């Protein structure tokens, strides 16, 4: 008697189980897509710094011409910051420096170097398993060099735009102002004066003792959806689940929250701290793959079918 052909049940069960993992977010393929758009009237050189414990992205710095854009993926669980360097001069070998946001490597690639203040920063911590949320903000704590806005695409949750569309260089007090033209920037009070009450250091190293200064209040009034000093209120941190993001330099205006998401999912709270209250102190230094919070009919059906297949295998 010829042997019976192998049963297809194990293959079907494995396929259904993998589909279940994908639909539930426990198995994630790909990552988050970041798109940089330059609406300035001049070239900028975005810089990228990954936090400790996060892998480097495909580039740590690049040239972005006026009107240009570039997209790439960040792995799940990535954490780090983006900024734009301005007034840069690089030779044919990619050697040179920038007037603002320079990362100190003497090259287009930043290779682990951060932005020299003053610089407008976009900060991200992609979803943690417990919350299934990305956390993001635009910070003026290290000063300001150009307008920047972060917008989400296709996510669920609050997903509000963050950033500063105002030209703070025009409003910058003379005692904070540096440079001119493409090298113009506005320092923070901490960067300009170095005093503990401005830097939230020493006896002022807590939210109770470090209060907003007249300078940080000027930043906040012009850019209410940005961090203005180290212990700014948590409404300046935003959350979204399962989104991609666009970082726009020199946007014409800050988009409304209504247009910031393609999802009809009811909105939930916006600016919140991470579960361990560590956001204001620093970016999270590690991360696990993001998950999604959406449970659909298909998802539930896959759970039932996968369970039935496992029962059949045990017969």
Structural domains present in the chain:
1-25+296-315 (no CATH), 31-291 (2.60.110.10)
pLDDT in tens, 175-207: 999 999 889 999 999 999 999 999 999 999 999
Mean pLDDT, rounded, for 99-104: 98
Closest residue by Cα to residue 38 from 62, 11, 57:
62
Alpha helices, DSSP H, located in the chain: 9-24, 168-171, 189-193, 196-199, 214-222, 297-314
Q: What distance in Å separates the CA atoms of residue 115 and residue 255, rounded to the nearest whole number?
A: 26
Amino acid 196: pLDDT = 97
Q: What is the DSSP letter of 183?
A: G
Q: How many CA atoms lie within 13 A of 143 on its CB side?
A: 27
Q: Which long-range contacts (CB under 8 A, 24 or more apart) does 97-100 make?
A: 98/45, 99/179, 99/182, 99/183, 100/145, 100/146, 100/179, 100/183, 100/184, 100/185
- Average the pLDDT over each of 2-6, 26-30, 162-166, 177-181 and give the range with the smallest value: 26-30
Tokens of 55: 């892998």
Question: Which of the two residues, 75 and 176, has the higher pLDDT score?
Answer: 176
Tokens 């997903």 — which residue? 159
Amino acid 294: pLDDT = 32
- Sorting pLDDT into bands at 50, 70 and 90, what band is 223? very high
Mean pLDDT, rounded, for 55-76: 95
Q: What distance in Å separates the CA atoms of residue 75 and residue 235, rounded to the nearest whole number?
A: 27
Amino acid 2: pLDDT = 53
Amino acid 267: pLDDT = 30
pLDDT in tens, 268-310: 333 333 333 333 333 322 333 333 333 333 334 444 545 555 5
Residue 139 has pLDDT above 60, yes or no: yes
Mean pLDDT, rounded, for 36-57: 96
Question: Which of the two residues, 290 and 122, has the higher pLDDT score?
Answer: 122
pTM: predicted TM-score of the whole model, two decimal places: 0.74
Residue 5 has pLDDT above 60, yes or no: no
- Sorting pLDDT into bands at 50, 70 and 90, what band is 130? low
């Amino acid at each position: 008697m010829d042997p019976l052909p192998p049963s297809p049940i194990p293959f079907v069960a494995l396929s259904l189980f993998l589909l279940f993992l994908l639909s539930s977010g426990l198995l994630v393929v790909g990552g988050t897509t970041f798109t940089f758009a330059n609406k300035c009237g001049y070239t900028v050189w975005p810089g990228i710094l990954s936090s400790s414990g996060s892998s480097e992205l495909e580039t740590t710095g690049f040239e972005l011409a006026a009107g240009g854009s570039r997209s790439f993926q960040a792995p799940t669980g990535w954490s780090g910051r983006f900024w734009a360097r301005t007034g840069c001069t690089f030779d044919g070998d990619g050697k040179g420096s920038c007037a603002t946001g320079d990362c100190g490597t003497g090259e287009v690639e930043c290779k682990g170097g951060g932005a020299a203040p003053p610089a407008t920063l976009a900060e991200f911590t992609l979803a943690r398993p417990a919350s299934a949320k990305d956390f993001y903000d635009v910070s003026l704590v290290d000063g300001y060099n150009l307008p920047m806005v972060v917008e989400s695409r296709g996510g669920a949750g609050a997903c509000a735009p963050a950033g500063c569309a105002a030209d703070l260089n025009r409003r910058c007090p003379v005692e904070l102002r540096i440079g001119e033209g493409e090298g113009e920037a506005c320092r923070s009070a901490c960067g300009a004066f170095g005093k503990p009450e401005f830097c939230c250091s020493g006896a002022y190293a807590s939210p109770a003792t470090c209060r907003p200064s007249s300078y940080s209040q000027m930043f906040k009034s012009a850019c209410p959806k940005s961090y203005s000093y180290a212990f700014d209120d948590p409404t300046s941190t935003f959350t979204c689940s399962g989104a991609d993001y666009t970082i726009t330099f020199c946007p014409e205006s800050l988009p409304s929250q209504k247009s910031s998401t393609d999802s009809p999912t009811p909105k939930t709270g916006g600016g919140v701290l991470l579960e361990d209250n560590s956001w204001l102190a620093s970016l999270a230094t590690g991360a696990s793959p993001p998950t999604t919070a959406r449970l659909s009919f298909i998802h539930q059906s896959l759970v039932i079918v996968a369970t039935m297949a496992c029962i059949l295998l045990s017969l």
